[in-house]
C-alpha cells in the first residue's frame, strides 16, 4: 500500500544525499564553513519532515510527539563531543549536563512511545 | 578514514530517522518506527563516541549516559494521563541540552580559538541559546501547569502591557544577540552572552504564564518545534548535518501539529501566544441562571439501552478522572447489546495532540472505533445518544454563530444534532476556558453531575444488573 510514498521518500533522499555526504570541515579548524550546504540540508529536511509527518495518522499524534522528541535528542552527539574532548573542566561539566538531559530524552522518549504504540489495537479488540 | 565512517553512519542514521517517521503513518507499522529510531540513535552515538577527538574522558560520557538511563527509565513509566507533562518536561530537557552546548562552545572558542567565532557561527550560537533556554523554562512552566503544581497558577495570569513587556524582552535579547554577532570577542561580550541567556530564561516563563489549559495542545506543539529548531541551530554551530536533519524533522513535526491544533481552534499562532484566553471570558459568563435538566443513572442507562448508535465524546474530564477503563466496561456492555458505539475525537480534546486516543487505546478500545471529528459529524443526526464525557468547549454550539464568544469559528463535534445528549460533568462551573455552554440547557440534553469515573461506573453497574435477566 505504501509503495508510492516510499518511492517519493527515496527520491527526496537521493536528492538530499550529495548535501548530506558533503565533506565536513575539520572541527576546530579555521577553514571556511560549508554553510551553504548546511542551509540546503536544513531546507530539504524540513520539506521531507513536513511531507512525511503530514501522513502520520491522527490517532498517533501523541506517540509521534514523543518519538520526534527522542529523535531531536540527537543533540546527544554534540554533547558527547563537548564532554569527551580535552576541554577545560567547566566546559566539560556543561557538556555532561547536556549529555545527561539528552540521554534522558532518548531513553524515556523511545520507551514511552513503544509503550503507547503497543496499546493501539485494531478491529475486534484483542488482535495483535 | 574514521571521518568518512562517521559521516557514513550519520547518513544511515538520517535515513533511518526519516523511515521511522514514515512508519508512523499507520498504527500497524508504527512500532517499526520506534525500532528504526532506536537503531539510528545507537549508530549516531557510537559513531560520535568513536571519533578521534573524543578520546580523553570516556568515564564522564559513560557516567552521564548512565544517569540519563536512571532518570529516563522511570519517566517512561508514568501513567498515561501524565503523558502531556512528561512530554513538556522532555521538551525542556531538549532545550536545556541545546542551550548548554551552545554556551560551552562559545566559551570554549572565546578562550581557545577566537577565529572560530565567525558571524555565521555566532548567529547560530545566539539562535541556539535563545531558543534552547526559552524552551527550557517555557516547557518547565507548561509541565508545572499540567502537573498542577501548587505554586504555579493554573489560570492564565495576565497584567497590563503584558504583550509589550514580552515582545520587548525578546527584542532586547535579539538586539543584544546582534551586537554579539558583530563583536564576539570584545571585553563585554561574555557579559552580554550571559545577559541573553537570562533574558531567554525569563522570556520562556513570561510566554507561558498567560496560557490556560485549553491552549496547552497548541503550546506543547509550538515548544516541540522550538526544541527541534534549537537542535538545528546546534547543528549549524557544530557543522553537523545529522543534527540539522534530525532537528528539522522534529521542528517540522511540531510545526504541523501546531497548525493542526490552531486550525482546530480557529486561532492563529500569535493569538494563542499573545491572546490570553480566559481574560475576555470573565465578562461573558454570568448571563443569569439558566435551568439544567438532570437525569438519574437509571434513566440514562435506559436511554442507552434503547439506542442503536451511541457516540461518546471524551474530553479532559475523562483524563482527569482516569475514567478510561470504566468507559471500556460501558463500551463492552453496550456492544453486548448490539449497539454501535463510536468515540468522537476532537483534535484539541485533552492537553496534547492525540491525548484521548492514547488513553482509550490504553483501555483496549480498538482504534477503529476512534473517529475523527470530520468523519463523525455527518453521522451525528443518526446518533441516538451523544454521551459527552468531560468535554465542554469542543461541543459548544455557540462556536458556530456567536461572534462574541471566544471560541467563535472553532470547529466542533455536532453533539447537539444527536437525538439525545447526555452530558457528564464534574461540577456546575463552566469549563476550563470559563465559557458557558448552551448545549447543557437544550431540550434534548440531560445532565449527569459527578466524577466521570464514578458516574460511568454507576452506569456500568446499572447496565450489567439489568442485562442479566
The alpha carbon of residue A51 and the mean position of all alpha carbons in its chain are separated, in whole angstroms, by: 15
Residue B178, φ and ψ in degrees, nearest 5: -65, -40
Question: What is this structure's pTM?
Answer: 0.85
| B149 confidence band (pLDDT: 50, 70, 90) | confident
Nearest CA among B434, B425, B364 for reference residue B393: B434
A93 in a structural domain: yes
Q: What is the pLDDT of residues A83-118, one digit of tens each?
A: 888 888 899 999 999 999 999 999 999 999 999 999
A126 in a structural domain: no
Q: What is the pLDDT of residues B178-200, one digit of tens each?
A: 999 998 888 899 999 999 999 99
- Lowest-confidence region among A4-18, B68-82, B212-226, B422-436: A4-18
Q: Do B61 and A81 touch (CB under 8 A)?
A: no
Q: According to the model, what pLDDT value does residue B277 have? A: 46
Tell me the residue range of the domain where A98 lies: 58-120
Q: Stretch B123-129: mean pLDDT, rounded?
A: 95
Q: Do B245 and A41 touch (CB under 8 A)?
A: yes
- Answer yes or no: do A51 and A62 share one domain: no
Number of domains in chain A: 2
Please identify every residue of B annotated as catalytic: 393
Which residues in chain A (33-62) have CB-CB distances under 8 A to chain B? 33-35, 37-38, 41-42, 45-50, 52-62
A74 in a structural domain: yes
User: B443 vs B420, B424, B440, CA distance in Å?
Assistant: 9, 16, 9
Buried b (16+ CB within 10 A) or exposed e, B224-241: bbbbbbbbbbbbbbbbbb
Q: Stretch A27-56: mean pLDDT, rounded?
A: 81
Q: Do A64 and B87 touch (CB under 8 A)?
A: no
Give the one of B97, B107, B111 whose C-beta lies nearest to A101's C-beta: B97
Q: Do B256 and A20 touch (CB under 8 A)?
A: no
DSSP-assigned letter for residue B74: H
B374: closest CA of chain A, how far (Å): 12
C-alpha B394/C-alpha B348 separation (Å) is: 8
Q: Do B87 and A69 touch (CB under 8 A)?
A: yes
Q: What is the mean pLDDT of chain A?
A: 78
The answer to whether B448 touches B330, Cβ cutoff 8 Å, is no
Give the one of B63, B68, B116 whose C-beta lies nearest to A104's C-beta: B68
Q: What angle do CA B76, B81, B85 make, to 5 degrees?
A: 65
B179: closest CA of chain A, how far (Å): 21
C-alpha B108/C-alpha B398 separation (Å) is: 58
Q: Stretch A36-44: mean pLDDT, rounded?
A: 92
Q: According to the model, what pLDDT value does residue A11 have? A: 53
SS3 content of chain B, % helix, strand, coil (to 5): 65, 5, 30
Q: Stretch B15-29: mean pLDDT, rounded?
A: 92
Q: What is the mean pLDDT of chain B?
A: 87
- Answer yes or no: do A65 and A115 share one domain: yes
Could you give the ipTM of this predicted complex?
0.86
- Answer yes or no: do A38 and A71 share one domain: no
A43 in a structural domain: yes
- Answer yes or no: do A43 and A68 share one domain: no
| B138 or B270, greater pLDDT | B138
- Answer yes or no: do A44 and A79 share one domain: no
A64 in a structural domain: yes
Which chain B residue lies closest to A44 (C-alpha atoms)?
A: B245
- Answer yes or no: do A44 and A97 share one domain: no
| B279 or A68, greater pLDDT | A68
A26 in a structural domain: no
The answer to whether B356 touches B314, Cβ cutoff 8 Å, is yes
Nearest CA among B231, B295, B311, B298 for reference residue B444: B295
Q: Do A64 and B24 touch (CB under 8 A)?
A: yes
Q: According to the model, what pLDDT value does residue B40 have? A: 95
Q: According to the model, what pLDDT value does residue B286 have? A: 47
C-alpha B344/C-alpha B415 separation (Å) is: 9
- Answer yes or no: do A74 and A100 share one domain: yes
pLDDT higher than 80, residue B104: yes
Q: According to the model, what pLDDT value does residue B391 have? A: 86
pLDDT higher than 60, residue B336: yes
Q: What angle do CA B110, B113, B116 make, to 5 degrees?
A: 90
A29 in a structural domain: no
| B344 or A33, greater pLDDT | B344
- Lowest-confidence region among B67-81, B422-436, B448-462: B422-436
Q: What is the pLDDT of residues B250-288, one digit of tens each?
A: 999 999 999 898 888 887 877 776 655 444 444 444 455
CB atoms within 10 A of CB B147: 15
- Lowest-confidence region among A58-67, B262-271, B343-352: B262-271
- Answer yes or no: do A47 and A89 share one domain: no
Q: According to the model, what pLDDT value does residue A3 have? A: 47
DSSP H stretches of helix in chain A? 3-21, 35-54, 61-72, 76-84, 89-119
Considering the domain B288-468 in this protein, what is its CATH number? 3.40.50.1220
B431: closest CA of chain A, how far (Å): 23
- Answer yes or no: do A48 and A69 share one domain: no
Q: According to the model, what pLDDT value does residue B282 have? A: 41
| A110 or A26, greater pLDDT | A110
Q: Which residues of A touch B181 (CB under 8 A)?
A: none
Domain boundaries, chain B: 1-71, 81-279, 288-468
Q: According to the model, what pLDDT value does residue A30 have? A: 42
- Answer yes or no: do A111 and A78 share one domain: yes
A128 in a structural domain: no
Q: According to the model, what pLDDT value does residue B358 have? A: 92
| B389 confidence band (pLDDT: 50, 70, 90) | very high
Q: According to the model, what pLDDT value does residue B114 have? A: 84
Q: Stretch B70-94: mean pLDDT, rounded?
A: 92
Q: Which residues of A touch B347 (CB under 8 A)?
A: 58
Q: What is the pLDDT of residues B293-324, one digit of tens each?
A: 888 888 889 999 999 999 999 998 898 888 99
Amino acid at each position: 500500500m505504501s509503495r508510492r510514498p516510499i518511492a517519493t521518500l527515496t527520491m527526496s533522499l537521493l536528492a538530499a544525499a550529495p548535501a548530506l555526504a558533503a565533506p565536513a570541515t575539520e572541527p576546530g579548524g579555521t577553514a571556511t564553513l560549508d554553510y551553504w550546504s548546511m542551509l540546503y540540508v536544513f531546507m530539504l529536511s524540513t520539506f521531507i519532515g513536513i511531507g512525511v509527518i503530514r501522513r502520520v495518522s491522527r490517532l498517533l499524534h501523541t506517540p509521534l510527539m514523543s518519538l520526534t522528541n527522542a529523535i531531536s535528542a540527537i543533540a546527544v552527539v554534540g554533547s558527547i563531543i563537548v564532554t569527551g574532548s580535552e576541554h577545560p573542566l567547566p566546559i566539560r561539566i556543561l557538556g555532561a549536563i547536556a549529555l545527561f538531559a539528552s540521554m534522558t530524552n532518548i531513553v524515556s522518549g523511545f520507551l514511552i512511545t513503544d509503550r503507547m504504540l503497543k496499546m493501539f489495537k485494531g478491529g475486534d479488540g484483542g488482535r495483535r | 578514514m574514521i571521518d568518512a565512517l562517521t559521516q557514513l553512519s550519520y547518513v544511515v542514521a538520517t535515513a533511518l530517522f526519516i523511515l521511522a517517521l514514515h512508519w508512523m503513518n499507520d498504527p500497524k507499522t508504527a512500532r517499526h518506527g520506534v525500532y528504526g529510531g532506536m537503531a539510528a540513535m545507537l549508530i549516531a552515538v557510537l559513531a560520535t563516541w568513536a571519533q578521534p577527538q573524543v578520546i580523553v574522558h570516556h568515564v564522564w560520557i559513560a557516567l552521564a549516559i548512565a544517569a540519563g538511563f536512571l532518570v529516563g527509565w522511570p519517566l517512561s513509566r508514568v501513567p498515561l494521563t501524565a503523558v502531556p507533562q512528561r512530554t513538556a518536561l522532555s521538551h525542556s530537557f531538549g532545550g536545556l541540552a541545546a542551550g548548554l552546548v551552545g554556551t560551552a562552545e562559545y566559551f570554549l572558542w572565546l578562550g581557545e580559538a577566537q577565529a572560530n567565532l565567525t558571524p555565521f557561527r555566532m548567529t547560530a550560537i545566539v539562535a541556539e541559546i535563545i531558543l534552547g533556554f526559552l524552551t527550557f523554562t517555557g516547557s518547565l512552566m507548561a509541565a508545572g501547569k499540567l502537573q498542577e503544581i501548587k505554586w504555579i497558577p493554573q489560570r492564565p495570569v495576565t497584567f497590563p502591557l503584558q504583550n509589550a513587556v514580552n515582545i520587548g524582552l525578546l527584542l532586547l535579547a535579539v538586539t543584544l544577540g546582534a551586537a554579539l554577532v558583530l563583536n564576539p570577542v570584545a571585553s563585554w561580550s561574555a557579559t552580554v552572552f550571559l545577559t541573553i541567556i537570562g533574558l531567554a530564561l525569563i522570556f520562556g516563563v513570561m510566554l507561558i504564564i498567560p496560557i490556560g489549559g485549553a491552549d496547552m495542545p497548541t503550546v506543547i506543539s509550538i515548544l516541540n518545534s522550538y526544541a527541534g529548531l534549537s537542535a538545528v541551530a546546534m547543528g549549524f554551530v557544530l557543522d553537523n548535518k545529522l543534527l540539522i536533519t534530525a532537528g528539522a524533522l522534529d521542528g517540522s513535526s511540531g510545526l504541523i501539529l501546531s497548525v493542526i491544533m490552531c486550525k482546530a481552534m480557529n486561532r492563529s499562532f500569535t493569538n494563542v501566544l499573545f491572546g490570553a484566553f480566559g481574560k475576555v471570558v470573565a465578562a461573558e459568563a454570568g448571563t443569569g441562571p439558566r435551568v439544567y435538566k438532570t437525569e438519574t443513572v437509571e434513566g440514562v442507562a435506559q436511554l442507552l439501552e434503547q439506542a442503536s448508535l451511541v457516540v461518546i465524546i471524551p474530553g479532559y474530564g475523562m483524563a482527569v478522572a482516569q475514567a478510561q477503563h470504566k468507559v471500556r466496561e460501558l463500551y463492552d456492555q453496550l456492544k453486548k447489546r448490539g449497539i454501535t458505539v463510536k468515540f468522537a475525537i476532537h483534535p484539541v480534546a485533552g492537553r496534547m495532540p492525540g491525548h484521548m486516543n492514547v488513553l482509550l487505546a490504553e483501555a483496549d478500545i480498538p482504534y477503529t472505533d476512534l473517529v475523527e471529528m470530520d468523519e463523525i459529524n455527518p453521522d451525528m443526526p443518526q446518533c441516538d445518544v451523544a454521551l459527552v464525557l468531560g468535554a465542554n468547549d469542543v461541543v459548544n454550539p455557540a462556536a458556530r454563530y456567536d461572534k462574541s464568544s471566544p471560541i467563535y469559528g472553532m470547529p466542533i463535534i455536532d453533539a447537539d444534532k444527536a437525538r439525545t445528549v447526555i452530558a457528564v460533568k464534574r461540577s456546575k462551573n463552566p469549563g476550563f476556558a470559563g465559557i458557558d455552554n448552551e448545549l447543557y440547557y437544550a431540550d434534548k440534553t440531560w445532565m449527569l453531575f459527578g466524577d466521570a469515573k464514578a458516574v460511568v461506573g454507576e452506569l456500568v453497574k446499572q447496565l450489567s444488573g439489568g442485562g442479566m435477566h
